[in-house]
Structure 1
Amino acid sequence: MKMILLLLMCFCTVAMAQTPGSSPKLVVCEGKAQGTYFIVKYLSSDTASLQTRIDSVFAVIDQSLSLYKPGSLINQFNATGEVKMDAHMRTVIDKAIYTSKATNGIFDITVKPLVYLWGFGVTKPSFKGVPPTDSIKKALSYVGYRYLKIKGDHLTTTKKGVQIDCNGIAQGYTVDVLGRFLDQLGIHDYLVDVGGELCAKGVNQMGNPWRIGIERPAPGDTTYEPIQAMVTLQDKGIATSGNYRRFFDQGRTRFAHTIDPVSGIALHSRIISVTVIAKDCFTADAFDNPLILMGVEKGLKFIAQHPAYGLEALYIYKAADGSIKEAYSPGFKDFLML
């Protein structure tokens, strides 16, 4: 799963809402799913737990998209090169291909052979460190979203051995599915967090937009500094990709789990993280990996040149002197609590 730099800045208990004349309470459901944690917070006058129903949502999506679940649809495809998709898988595959085209292949779910080669997959390689050049070249020969073909509800590949990994987008999709689930129950004030990928709607128990803190690593990358920035989130999604939770160091270079599907090389730039805000978490999650691979200058230029995607981003990176710097798109400032 992707590393996350976000902390929820609201109470983790059931508390009375502060809106005069109302009775809704803050209800919290939390647990483990998709290899990480989840927290769902919402305001409701009915405090009966939705835990079981939320767990069921995760179970259905995992049966479609989890690489950890034997027999899942994604594992069926990776084993045979074809699968009949359900609605969840079809939606995610469509979004993945759309994002691949939008980023000229910098986002590509067929990156799975490279992810495993670099040691960031479900199973670990027999060696540790930077893979041999010939191994990277071989893995790259199976990477390319254009090898994927959709006909009706069937997904196939035109090249034997092509496999997919949706971990770079599935959590954001799951967040939005849970949000729609709450909408259908008539719940309109909520915050959904799956491993740090979030969507927010309405207000918190104080009647204010949901507040989220963004933290940054200390210069030594072993501890965390205090909250670096606070953002307000209302009817938006937010996702973060970074380089200091899943990585390995070789020499003086840090290689993170985000793999460039064009070069086949793991992220090893000075960028620590990029936090992306979009109209929904699905979109934010889809673009955070390509934006971190683009780098600060190209990433911010991409956002400016493609306003239709509705993206705003905050980069945290190390300058040449080792100091930690920040850069963000103009619209991101509107979410910052200064």
Structure 2
Amino acid sequence: MTPTRRRFIKIAAVQSAALAAASQASVFGTAHSKALHPWRGIVLGAEASIQLNCDSEKRAKRVLKTCVSEIQRLETIFSLYDERSSLSQLNKEKRLKQAPAELLELLRFAQEFGAQSQGIFDVTIQPVIQAYREHFARHDSGLPANLSQALKSVDYRKIRITADTIEIPATVSITLNGVAQGYITDKIAALLREEGFGHTLIDLGEKRALDSHPSGRNWQLGLANGFGIHDVAELNNQALSSSGGYGTTFDKSGQHHHLIDPRNGLSANHHASVHVLASDATLADALSTALATCSREEAKQLEAKFPAATVFRS
């Protein structure tokens, strides 16, 4: 989830047309009386938006302001690029006492999912990603000379969590760029639910729909793969996450990118894109990252562990 990690998922033209139609009337009946109040911004480097269904502009502004404050608070925990963030402090000091509850929760999830995926999803991949960045800052091709050494640091099982303290070995660094946006999306969804909101679409790098569109139909989202829209997903109280190697490339050819197999240190090019529809954005985020990284045969085995999820790929 680097700054351009998931910008390639755009709401399809079909959604824009449907939104315009829904403002007049819905195929399910009279359009909902509430208005969709939009917010747009940047979350962990990615374009973000919220379409809040509310009958009061004043209340909508107040609630959206609360959402933005919460997003900013969570960014100070998970940002890989903010030196003051909790994650950056952990990577620097290798030990974080009185760690935020959200970081503890997400790292526990990451370890559990790492085990479920048999190491295909591994948040300790950061030393390898950094090796690629440094290599291609100086060269146009090839592999990092220190790739084998960086790979030795990769193992999610090396993260130690005891009570409110997190510890990692000196050579280990963590990135939550494959799951943090989904987690933040779920937190904002929970906040809005507690405030009584529904029929709302949240897009914080990953998407989550609270109920259907106000018109009564499903939210319709286009799925892109770098060549254009290849499919449309319909959401109703579900989350959608997408992963594609071309989202952040290290070289001009695009063969070397951020979706790296933690087992061999090589960028995975099995799919142009993978999209996962699931009950929550945290799972969808991690699962799309893992499925985009592994082979099609391995993907079938991993998908079988999450039968409630729907996968689109190209």
2:141 is the alignment partner of 1:140: no
2:117 is the alignment partner of 1:103: yes
Deviation, structure 1 residue 270: 4.3
Deviations 1:49-104 (A, max 9, x none): 13422221121111111012121111111111111311211121111101101011
Give structure 1 stretches of 5+ with no counterpart: 219-223, 317-338
2:96 is the alignment partner of 1:83: yes
SS of the aligned residue for 1:313 comes to strand
Corresponding residue for 1:262? Answer: 263
Change (3 A) 1:198 1:22: closer
Check conservation: 1:26, 1:44, Cα contact below 8 A.
yes
**Distance of 1:216 and 1:165 partners within structure 2:** 24
Check conservation: 1:17, 1:24, Cα contact below 8 A.
no
Q: What letter is aligned with 2:198? A: H
Deviations 1:166-218 (A, max 9, x none): 011000011111111111111011111123x1111212132211111112333
Corresponding residue for 2:194? Answer: 184
Which of 180, 190, 195 in structure 2 is aligned with 1:170? Answer: 180
Q: What letter is aligned with 1:199? A: R
**Distance of 1:124 and 1:131 partners within structure 2:** 9
Check conservation: 2:182, 2:283, Cα contact below 8 A.
yes
Which of 302, 305, 309 in structure 2 is aligned with 1:311? Answer: 309
**Distance of 1:244 and 1:174 partners within structure 2:** 23
Check conservation: 2:140, 2:251, Cα contact below 8 A.
no
Percent of residue pairs identical: 24
Superposed, which structure 2 residues align to 1:15-26 within 5 Å?
A: 20=30, 23-26=33-36
Corresponding residue for 2:6? Answer: 3
2:161 is the alignment partner of 1:150: yes
Corresponding residue for 2:55? Answer: 45
2:70 is the alignment partner of 1:54: no
**Distance of 1:248 and 1:93 partners within structure 2:** 27
Aligned residues: 299
2:241 is the alignment partner of 1:230: no
Change (3 A) 1:117 1:303: same
Corresponding residue for 2:128? Answer: 114
Greater fraction of residues in strand: 1
Q: CA RMSD in A?
A: 2.5
Q: What letter is aligned with 1:83? A: L
Corresponding residue for 1:320? Answer: none
Q: What letter is aligned with 1:141? A: K
Deviation, structure 1 residue 6: 2.3
Q: What letter is aligned with 1:142? A: S
Deviation, structure 1 residue 299: 0.7
Check conservation: 1:188, 1:202, Cα contact below 8 A.
yes
Change (3 A) 1:16 1:37: farther
Corresponding residue for 2:278? Answer: 278
Corresponding residue for 2:141? Answer: 129
SS of the aligned residue for 2:66 comes to helix
Check conservation: 2:37, 2:54, Cα contact below 8 A.
yes
Check conservation: 1:276, 1:314, Cα contact below 8 A.
yes
Check conservation: 1:39, 1:193, Cα contact below 8 A.
yes
Deviations 1:3-57 (A, max 9, x none): 3442222449x96886649531111111122101111012111222134222211
Change (3 A) 1:153 1:131: same
Deviation, structure 1 residue 118: 1.2
TM-score normalised per structure 2: 0.87
Check conservation: 2:208, 2:280, Cα contact below 8 A.
yes
SS of the aligned residue for 1:264 comes to coil
Deviation, structure 1 residue 311: 2.4
Q: What letter is aligned with 2:312? A: L
Deviation, structure 1 residue 233: 0.5
Check conservation: 2:246, 2:254, Cα contact below 8 A.
no
Corresponding residue for 1:212? Answer: 221
**Distance of 1:212 and 1:21 partners within structure 2:** 20
Corresponding residue for 2:203? Answer: 193
Change (3 A) 1:281 1:191: same
**Distance of 1:167 and 1:253 partners within structure 2:** 19
SS of the aligned residue for 2:196 comes to coil
Check conservation: 1:238, 1:277, Cα contact below 8 A.
yes
Corresponding residue for 1:329? Answer: none
